[in-house]
Amino acid sequence: MVNHTSDQNAWFQQARRDPRSPYRDWYVWSRTRPRNAASGVVFPGVQKSTWSYDSLAHAWYFHRFYEFQPDLNTANPQVQAEILKIMGFWIQLGVSGFRMDAVPFVIATKGPRVRRPREQYWMLRQMREFLQWRAGESIILAEANVLPKTDMEYFGDAGDRMHMMFNFQANQHLFYSLASADTQPLCKALRATKSRPATAQWGHFLRNHDELDLGRLTPAQRATVFKEFGPEKSMQLYDRGIRRRLAPMLAGDRRRIELRL
């Protein structure tokens, strides 16, 4: 789902060239460098800031990810309408649903005065309603690496927001259990994520992303997983994850791979 565009996108190019352009407010700008520009980086060690200066716009623009990926101002009704238009385009081509990446960032409040982003959960229902109206059998699978106490905010108490969510809590503790032979943390994670609407479902997975994110584990637990599955620094990523796929992590042992699957 759309959280940002490329800095080469026609929308951004028009926005940076003309402050009166209707696309200017499609992005998030600040005349001065925000005080919290160095906080909230997604890729520590690689990304240094969430704000970059554009010499043509004479302003700073917000980017939750890399500087060549300026964030869209998703609170702008015109941007919301464009997102629904994009959904409609793919639905018309016959897709069965959408994998919505970085959901907390898509729905978060953005701007130079925002110190603690607030999730606008109503946006999820808006997308869900549009999808169900256009294709009732389609689903949205959400990528939201959040704490269990907020899971229901993404599903919706009435099951009217996301159809499915990746279960990051269970996934991270699963790899810790595999590395330590201790199943208690995994059992706890499964109990913590047990709640869901009857019409919603968890997506349980092993490896399905660019990194095996271990950020929800304690430092000691993370070190245990690193030692077992990614002992070399080149195998690790952002000091919180592993960049390897499942087969290399299990040394190509088919019996172990089949056991996990």
E-strand ranges in the chain read 29-30, 51-54, 59-62, 97-100, 139-142, 164-166, 201-203, 212-213, 236-237, 241-242
Active site residue 151: no
Residue among 67, 82, 101, 213 flagged as catalytic: 101
Residue among 7, 119, 143, 151 flagged as catalytic: 143
Active site residue 101: yes
Residue 100's closest CA among 158, 161, 44, 41?
161
Radius of gyration for the alpha carbons in the chain, expressed in angstroms and rounded: 20
The whole-angstrom separation of Cα 142 and Cα 104 is 10
Adjacency order of strands within the sheet including 29-30:
29-30, 59-62, 51-54
Adjacency order of strands within the sheet including 236-237:
212-213, 241-242, 236-237
Q: In the structure encoding, which two tokens stand for residue 135, read together?
A: 């294709």
Active site residue ranges: 101, 143
